[in-house]
């Protein structure tokens, strides 16, 4: 039977799970505070999620017409267009969210398409969009700062809801194994504190948190985290020093470094804590990944409960590395080839793929220049040396 070798030593038997994803039955995400999705990689620009409200029981939305149709399609072995981010990752042999779920939950199709909350193993709970940063790859659904700046810029965003549907019902998720926190920045969120307090049997739950590393959790929160079976704390950092300050505006590098050091120290004694440098690779930072990884490796100094993870940005597409020309791909590859760490293999494979035929360059330039004008920054001036004019 043909096995496909994956990054990080894992292999998937593709013949048993060609297209279906366990999260369609065992996953639930309310990542934008207004609709439900099987996971946060499901693209809501491609098709909207299932509308949900405080008045409607979550289980009705979970068994709605939309979810039933997605499940039937997967049973028939058809691809769902909104799952394209997983399929794109798999094409370049980068472990997709779907493959993580197959590994965690197993490749067998469930016997029934009717789902109960107690059968959800992997939940992604929105805790509100309050955030102090306005990162280039983010939007008002996940950042209150962006919501105000969109208004100033006269840009449109569909409605912003603050319903914390899953967090408010978390005690009903009795079969939970993985709980991912979606924000906003959880270090500012009271709802996050409530969520970790009310999670059933935390000693059986792996908690995944992403933080922008500008602020450390309070002692009270850090104490509550010790109850969980495992805590995977990802620090979202997209560049070294001033590059991060510009992409993840208006963060200050000194704060980021101090937070990373503090958590690394903590992971030495708190055995359930794993610390991850999580970098979203886009056209904006693909030319400067090495200084960031070198910084992280020096800081963590082989600490066993820490690692780095690179994920490839797919949306908005004009920020994606799929939008690079042949020359730009070669330039980025030349820089990355200075380092043979397997961490970069997926990015290198993507850069060796077909170049963009018609790169959406005017959208990229317009986006960066408008943001610079609004903030009084000079990011585009710094960045434009990497791209063809
Ligand atoms: S295939 Fe990917 S995008 Fe689709 S439900 Fe699974 S994890 Fe989410």
Query: pLDDT (tens digit, 9 = 90+) per residue, 141-178?
Result: 899 999 999 999 999 887 777 889 999 999 999 999 99
Biggest CA-to-CA distance, the chain: 58
Q: How far is the CA of 115 from the centre of ligand 1 (A)?
A: 17
If you ran DSSP here, which 8-state letter would residue 132 be given? Answer: S
Over residues 332-351, mean pLDDT: 96
> Could you tell me if residue 363 is inside a domain?
no
User: Could you tell me which residues are beta bridge partners of residue 309?
Assistant: 278
pLDDT tens digits for range 52-72: 877 888 999 999 999 999 999
> Could you tell me if residue 83 is inside a domain?
yes
The candidate with the shortest Cα–Cα distance to 238, out of 320, 356, 359, 137, is 137
- CA–CA separation, 348 and 342 (whole Å): 10
pLDDT at residue number 158? 74
Please answer whether residues 281 and 312 qualify as being in contact, where contact means their C-beta atoms are separated by less than 8 angstroms.
Answer: yes
- CA–CA separation, 110 and 112 (whole Å): 6
pLDDT at residue number 13? 47
Would you tell me how many other CB atoms lie within 10 Å of the CB of residue 84?
16
- CA–CA separation, 201 and 223 (whole Å): 16
Over residues 202-214, mean pLDDT: 98
Specify the ligand 1 atom closest to the Cα of 43: 3
- Print the domain residue range for 15: 4-119
Would you tell me how many other CB atoms lie within 10 Å of the CB of residue 2?
6
Pocket of ligand 1 (CB under 6 A): 21, 23-24, 38-39, 41-42, 83, 85-86, 97-98, 101
pLDDT at residue number 18? 66
pLDDT band at 357 (very low <50, low <70, confident <90, very high): confident
> Could you tell me if residue 77 is inside a domain?
yes
> Could you tell me if residue 224 is inside a domain?
no
Q: Tokens 């317009």 sit at which residue?
A: 366
Secondary structure E strands in 262-352: 273-281, 306-312
> Could you tell me if residue 46 is inside a domain?
yes
If one residue of 12, 30, 66, 96 were mutated to test the ligand 1 pocket, choosing by the most ligand atoms within 8 A of its CB, it would be 96
> Could you tell me if residue 374 is inside a domain?
no
> Could you tell me if residue 54 is inside a domain?
yes
Q: How far is the CA of 42 from the centre of ligand 1 (A)?
A: 6
User: Could you tell me which residues are beta bridge partners of residue 233?
Assistant: 209, 275
Give yes or no for residue 308 having a pLDDT over 50.
yes
Is the backbone peptide bond immediately before 351 cis, with ω within 30 degrees of 0? Answer: no
3-class DSSP state of 244: helix
Give yes or no for residue 360 having a pLDDT over 90.
no
Domains contained in the chain, number: 1
pLDDT at residue number 108? 86
User: In the Cβ-directed half-sphere of 38, how many Cα atoms lie within 13 Å?
Assistant: 27
> Could you tell me if residue 17 is inside a domain?
yes
Is the backbone peptide bond immediately before 250 cis, with ω within 30 degrees of 0? Answer: yes
Lowest-confidence pick of 37-41, 82-86, 158-162, 307-311 = 158-162
Please answer whether residues 379 and 368 qualify as being in contact, where contact means their C-beta atoms are separated by less than 8 angstroms.
Answer: yes
């Amino acid at each position: 039977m043909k096995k496909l070798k994956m990054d990080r030593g894992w292999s998937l038997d593709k013949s048993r799970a060609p297209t279906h994803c366990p999260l369609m039955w065992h996953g639930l995400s309310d990542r934008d505070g207004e609709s439900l999705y099987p996971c946060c990689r499901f693209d809501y620009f491609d098709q909207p999620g299932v509308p949900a409200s405080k008045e409607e029981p979550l289980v009705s939305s979970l068994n709605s017409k939309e979810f039933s149709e997605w499940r039937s399609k997967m049973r028939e072995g058809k691809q769902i267009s909104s799952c394209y981010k997983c399929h794109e990752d798999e094409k370049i042999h980068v472990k997709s969210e779907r493959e993580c779920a197959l590994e965690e939950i197993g490749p067998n199709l469930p016997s029934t398409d009717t789902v109960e909350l107690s059968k959800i193993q992997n939940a992604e709970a929105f805790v509100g969009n309050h955030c102090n940063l306005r990162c280039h790859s983010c939007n008002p659904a996940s950042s209150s700062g962006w919501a105000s700046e969109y208004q100033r810029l006269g840009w449109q965003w569909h409605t912003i809801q603050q319903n914390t549907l899953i967090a408010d019902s978390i005690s009903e998720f009795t079969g939970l194994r993985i709980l991912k926190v979606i924000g906003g920045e959880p270090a500012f969120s009271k709802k996050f504190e409530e969520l970790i307090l009310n999670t059933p049997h935390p000693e059986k739950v792996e908690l995944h948190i992403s933080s922008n590393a500008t602020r450390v959790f309070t002692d009270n929160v850090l104490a509550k985290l010790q109850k969980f079976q495992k805590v995977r704390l990802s620090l979202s950092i997209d560049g070294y020093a001033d590059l991060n300050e510009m992409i993840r505006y208006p963060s200050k590098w000194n704060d980021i470094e101090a937070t990373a050091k503090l958590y690394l120290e903590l992971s030495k004694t708190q055995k359930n804590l794993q610390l991850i440098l999580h970098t979203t690779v886009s056209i904006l930072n693909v030319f400067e990944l090495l200084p960031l990884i070198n910084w992280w490796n020096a800081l963590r100094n082989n600490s066993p409960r820490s690692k780095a993870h690179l994920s490839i940005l797919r949306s908005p597409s004009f920020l994606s590395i799929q939008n690079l020309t042949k020359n730009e791909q070669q330039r980025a590859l030349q820089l990355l080839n200075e380092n043979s760490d397997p961490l970069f293999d997926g990015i290198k494979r993507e850069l060796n793929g077909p170049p963009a035929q018609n790169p959406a360059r005017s959208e990229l330039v317009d986006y960066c220049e408008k943001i610079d004008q609004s903030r009084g920054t000079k990011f585009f001036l710094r960045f434009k040396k990497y791209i063809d004019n």
